[in-house]
Amino acid sequence: MKEYKVNSGYGWHAWFWVDKEEFPGEWKTGSLRYRVEKAVGRADDGKLFLMVWTNLDQHQHDGHKFTQVFYEIDESEYAEFLDRAIKQGELSPKDREHLIKRMKAPFIPPWNVHKAVVVYRDGRYTLGQRNDRPYLIANGKRLTLMCHPYEPCLYITDEDGCRTAVHYAFDPFDVLKAFSRGETITSITGREYDALDFCRVIEYAAGMAEIGINDAETVLGTDKKPGKDCKKG
């Protein structure tokens, strides 16, 4: 594969951790094993790429530093990676079908991250972006939304600094872009959201240390909510 320069990742829905390897041996601290992880993403120019992320570099002495190399791939190679993930038990055939569908969707340039905008507002919720940060105001409480470009997680931070990781969720910029065009979004579980559904799921998850998107979506079918487990301190 040809090495590829990626300025930024786009559309986290194209991401899936396709391979993880652990090796014998540890750093001198005894706290971190060597490992290699591979993921697939989409760049700002619409091309698919493979990222190889590793701490296996013998010349590094800091166990918290990693190297990243990117390679351009095509759709058939991406499909092969998903098939491998199914064999490893990390992906279901239904999830594969969903990811392939999203991969084949028309490429739309990234959302303008510098634009201040409100894409949804009702009596309880305000969803928008200001100062380059997506946010949700839920019943008067402001929640900041972000997504790590190399992890399929949506991070929710409340006014007290409590952060929640919603695994296999959404890139908030993708969400704002879709709702601004009057479109819906679809989670990796296949569930379709409108703006109100998204706001309800975010409010439900906020304050928990971490939660999977499939568990967060239960709020759309039940009013029961588990206790919070993230405390200020």
Q: Using CA atoms, how far apart are residues 133 and 40, in angstroms rounded to an integer?
A: 25
Cα first-last separation, the chain: 47
Q: Pairing between strand 153-157 and 163-167?
A: antiparallel
Characterize 10-36 residue by residue with b for buried, 16 or more Cβ atoms within 10 angstroms of its Cβ, and e for exposed.
bbbbbbbbbbeeeeeeeeeeeeeebee
At 133, list the tokens: 């940060």
- Each residue's pLDDT tens digit, 203-224: 999 989 899 999 999 999 854 3
CA–CA separation, 125 and 194 (whole Å): 13
Q: What is the mean pLDDT of the segment spanning 17-40? A: 68
Sheet holding 125-130, edge to edge: 117-121, 125-130, 133-138, 141-147, 153-157, 163-167, 210-212
Structure confidence at residue 150 (pLDDT): 61
Per-residue pLDDT tens digits for 178-198:
888 888 999 888 899 999 999
Residue position matching structure tokens 């351009």: 72
pLDDT at residue 156 in the model: 95
Q: What's the predicted TM-score (pTM) here?
A: 0.54
Q: Are 208 and 163 in contact (CB under 8 A)?
A: no
Helix axes 172-180, 195-205, angle to 10 degrees: 150
Least Cα distance to 158 among 202, 118, 114, 224 occurs for 202
pLDDT tens for 52-61 read: 888 766 555 5
More confident residue, 56 or 103: 103
Between strands 163-167 and 210-212, the pairing is parallel
Q: What is the mean pLDDT of residues 9-33?
A: 62
pLDDT at 125 over 90: yes
Is residue 172 predicted with pLDDT exceeding 60? yes
